[in-house]
Structure 1
Amino acid sequence: MASWNPDTPCSCDCFVSVPPASAIPAVIFAKNSDRPRDEVQEVVFVPASTHAPGSRLQCTYIEVEQVSKTHAVILSRPSWLWGAEMGANEHGVCIGNEAVWTKEPVDEGEALLGMDLLRLALERSRSALEALHVITGLLERYGQGGSCREDPAPFCYHNTFLLADRTEAWPVRMEAAKARFQAGQELLQQQRGGITAEVMMGILRNKESGICMDSGGFRTTASMVSILPQDPTQPCVHFLTATPDPSRSVFKPFIFGAGAAQAPQVLSPTFGAQDPVRTQPRFQTQVDRRHTLYRGHQVALGLMEREQDRGQQLRQKQRDLEQEGLEAARGLLAGEWAPPPQELATLFQAFVEREGQVYA
């Protein structure tokens, strides 16, 4: 396996498996979000909505024209910005973005962040190909630029995207993190024909390759794995952590449906007009963006590091809870479990609550 150099510029890791590489007739999408170490990532559910003609939409830095209808989305995002690092919509479209480090200069002027483009594409697309067209159209009209970190010092980069739906995936060429790309490719190749959501979670937890990042000022701050069945009558299942370090986090299942709602335990506090991203000049102060689950997880990580026996017990409880979610997804997709729609819609909320009880 290729070795990883911790001095390589930070970038995320996205993976996708399509049949026949997948163990089941489904596209399987996965991403680790590698971000500044102390950055909090929240999981946000946004329902489908209609909008009045001529409406404007405030993104992280700039406004854009709103469309007449937006789709329901589940997003894993740095809690200070509008866009997202990764997410999915009600039509089974998944997108993850990647930082790209090239010789081409990056515009520090404020425009759309790559993370804004990701959310806009999810809200406006019914397929991966349509999402690709949305991104390129918005890039041509509004451009890409602005700091990608909550810090007074500009931190700017270009973005690429991995887009997937139930039938296909559109990977965009990556320019950096080649050792980690090779390592991930090797890990996927070893499981070719047998790739499952659980296999993808194992890859995202691989520290030797640097796929699960923990170096200096950066680490994996959140992770996501999605099962996108080719059969349109089956629901897509999206697993999200909402906490850093997937090797010590729980992937929890989310399914779109009537009654789906925001889980408050994974929603960061808001600061309105006083938010450092809204004031000018930006990012001159710091605020505590930790959500309830993040705080509990921090306590759990400290216990794992200080007390080996209790830490192992806690990690086993995490594994057991995650396994329940995986078994629920398997039963659902195999037709062995048919809960009422309301139970499916609140599945993520139930798992978030149970994880919080583990940390309490």
Structure 2
Amino acid sequence: MSDVFVALPPATAGGNVIFGKNSDRPPTEVQEVVYVPAQDNAAGMKLKCTFLDVEQVGHTHSLILSKPTWSWGAEMGANEHGVCIGNTSVWTKLCSQGDQGKKLIGADFVRLGLERGDSAKGALDIITSLLEKYGQSGPCCQEEAFSQWTYHNSFIIADRQEAWVLETAGQQWAAEQVTNGVRNISNALSISTKIDAMSQGLLETAQEQGFWKPEDGEFDFAKAFSAEYSGMTLTDAQKPENRLQSGKGLMESLSRDGSFCLESMFSVLRDVNSSISFHGDIVTTASQVSVLTPRSSSVPCSHWLTATPDPNLSVFKPFVFCPNPVIGKGTLSGIEAGSQETSDQRHLLYRMHEKGRKLMAEGSPQGQKLRETMQHLENECIEDVQEFLKNFNEAKYPEIVDLFKDVVDTEIKFYK
């Protein structure tokens, strides 16, 4: 379960596209932030995803990813071309609870789209072609209490000028292009009759399954394929349809004057009353916000990731693509990608934050002081990065090679 957001001009400041996601997962799951360099691959190679091997491509882009330690795929991330993708689970009439057939999972599609797509539309085409070829299913977490947790997927795919919402049901899919304003997704299908692209057999499948017939009127994807998931106890605020509407309301309110920005998305992801910041059987285990500058701009995009649970008690740390960036080992678990190893998967930042998070949540004077220190660290990062980007030229790239690593190391020191 997750919430994903995008804001585009004229809703945003500076003509930027702002992407954001809270990844809501089982409370014991750890997410690591990893950098994956671009790579050239020999013809005929196979690529091992989480459960399934697929054909490798000749070239893959460099990536920054937030991913469960056990999964090859990612919950969210960005690539060097300013493409961002985040997914969320949806339950459809074609989804069988406990479907353990090991195909591609949602996280695999996120990473594959980022590795291979140099635009939002390009990533959309890559994901849908792989979906149609390989299908989707398989265990979507390691925690035993969620061992039957399988689902289909919804995605927001954004670049520096547009975004696409992609929603799936089995190997069928529908997509909606977003060129202005705000859009968000939660754990319920949200594409209705505005369908800008779809799988070839979508309408036929809906008719054959008895989900829709022409005499019903215009085809409505969400109405035809939506199904409820009864495997989790949710409050009213936590229900997908209510989070979807609450998220939309937050985005519209903060973008009304055309000033939606990095801090606006932080505010959305930290909203507790709407359960966008999720606390329950699952929790928000990691978050990402990306500022995608206009294609006409020479200013690079910036990506802000927590690598720790609860955005209200976490620091968003900046990453900017540059030649040979170094993110350090503080957010790396040491578990091989795609491994099903179940030993302690906590990276150093996670372990240190775990102690600090307990203090901050208790609200003691010591915890309050630590929370203020973390907020000060984040505010300083925002000011420094904005100043750096305002006067950017390529000769300044060496200044940010260690940017993410330096902030992670500083955060760890404050927890000691």
Structure-to-structure mapping, 1:72-91, within 5 angstroms = 72-91=62-81
Alpha-carbon distance, 1:45 to partner: 0.3
TM-superposed CA distance for 1:338, in Å, is: 8.1
Question: SS state of the match for residue 264, structure 1?
Answer: coil
Does the CA contact (< 8 Å) of 2:327 and 2:404 recur in 1?
no
Aligned CA distance change for structure 1 residues 312 and 211 (closer, same or farther; 3 Å): same
Q: CA deviation at 1:287?
A: 1.0
Does the 8 Å contact 1:239/1:253 carry over to 2? yes
Whether 2:36 is the aligned partner of 1:52: answer no
Of stretches 152-161 and 41-50 in structure 1, the one that deviates more from structure 2 is 152-161
Q: Name the count of aligned residue pairs.
A: 340
CA distance in 2, matches of 1:122, 1:232: 21
Q: CA deviation at 1:194?
A: 1.4
**In 1: Cα distance, 2:10 partner to 2:388 partner:** 21
Contact 1:332 1:338 in 2 (8 A): no
Q: Is the 8 A contact 1:331 1:337 kept in 2?
A: no
Equivalent residue of 2:318, what SS? strand
Q: Match of 2:166?
A: 172
What whole-Å deviation, never above 9, does each CA across 1:6-39 have from its counterpart, x for those lacking one?
A: xxxxx20111110110022100000000000110
Deviates more, 1:201-210 or 1:334-343: 334-343
Q: Distance in 2 between matches of 1:207 and 1:54?
A: 48
TM-score normalised according to structure 1 size: 0.90
Asked whether the 8 Å contact 1:328–1:337 carries over to 2, the reply is no
One of 326, 332, 335 as aligned partner of 1:267:
332
Distance 1:91 1:336, change over 3 A: closer
Question: Within 2, Cα distance between the matches of 1:132 and 1:352?
Answer: 32
Instruction: Give the superposition deviation at 1:272.
Output: 8.8
- 1:159 pairs with one of 153, 156, 159: 153
Give CA-to-partner distance per residue, 1:193-252, whole Å, 9 cap, x none. Answer: 111111100110011000000112x00000000000003411000000000000000000
Aligned to 2:90: 100
AA aligned opposite 1:92: G
- Verify: 1:221 aligned to 2:285, yes or no: yes
Give the AA of the match of 2:246. Answer: A
* Distance in 2 of aligned mates of 1:239 and 1:347: 11
Letter in 2 for 1:75: L
* Unaligned segments of structure 1, at least 5 residues: 1-10, 278-285
Q: By how many angstroms is 1:185 displaced?
A: 1.0
Is 1:26 equivalent to 2:91 in the alignment?
Answer: no
- Which residue, 102, 123, 133 being the options, matches 1:141? 133
Correspondent of 2:372 among 294, 308, 316: 316
Aligned to 2:358: 302
Deviations 1:43-101 (A, max 9, x none): 01000010111111110001111001000000000110000000000000000001002
Name 1:197's counterpart in structure 2.
Answer: 262
2:103 maps to a residue whose letter is: A
Separation in structure 2 between the aligned mates of residue 206 and residue 21 of structure 1, nearest angstrom: 20
The residue type equivalent to 1:248 in the other structure is L
Q: CA RMSD in A?
A: 1.8
Question: Which of 105, 111, 114 lines up with 1:122 in the alignment?
Answer: 114
Structure 1 equivalent of residue 250 of structure 2: 187
CA contact (8 A) 2:12 2:259 kept: yes
Contact 1:23 1:194 in 2 (8 A): yes
**Given that residues 259 and 342 in structure 1 are in contact (C-alpha distance below 8 angstroms), is that contact kept between their aligned partners in structure 2?**
no
Specify the code of the residue in structure 2 equivalent to 1:180: R
Letter in 2 for 1:288: D
Contact 2:61 2:114 in 1 (8 A): yes
Provide the C-alpha distance between the structure 2 equivalents of 1:20 and 1:86, rounded to a whole number of angstroms: 25
Q: 2:322 aligns with which of 257, 277, 280?
A: 257
Following the alignment from structure 2 to structure 1, what is the Cα–Cα distance between the partners of residues 337 and 158? 34
Looking at structure 2, the residues matched to 105 and 250 of structure 1 have their Cα atoms a distance apart, in angstroms, of 36
With 60-69 and 169-178 compared, the bigger mean Cα shift is at 169-178
Partner of 2:192: none
Cα distance in 2 between the residues matched to 1:27 and 1:86: 16
**What is the rounded CA distance, in whole Å, between the counterparts of 2:30 and 2:272 in structure 1?**
21
Letter in 1 for 2:267: G
Q: How far 1:337 moved relative to its partner?
A: 8.9
Tell me if structure 1 keeps the 8 A contact 2:70–2:337.
no
- In the TM superposition, residue 130 of structure 1 has moved relative to its aligned partner by 0.2
CA contact (8 A) 2:124 2:166 kept: no
Give the C-alpha shift of residue 326 in structure 1: 1.1
Tell me, what secondary structure is at the counterpart of 2:51?
A: coil
In structure 2, stretches of 5+ residues that fail to align are 168-184, 190-239
Q: Match for 2:370: what amino acid?
A: L
- TM-score normalised by the chain length of structure 2: 0.79
Q: Which moved more, 1:100-109 or 1:84-93?
A: 100-109
**Kindly, what percent of the aligned residue pairs are identical?**
46
CA shift, 1:113, in A, is 0.7
Moved more, 194-203 or 298-307: 298-307
Give the 3 Å change call, closer, same or farther, for CA 338–142 of structure 1 in structure 2: closer
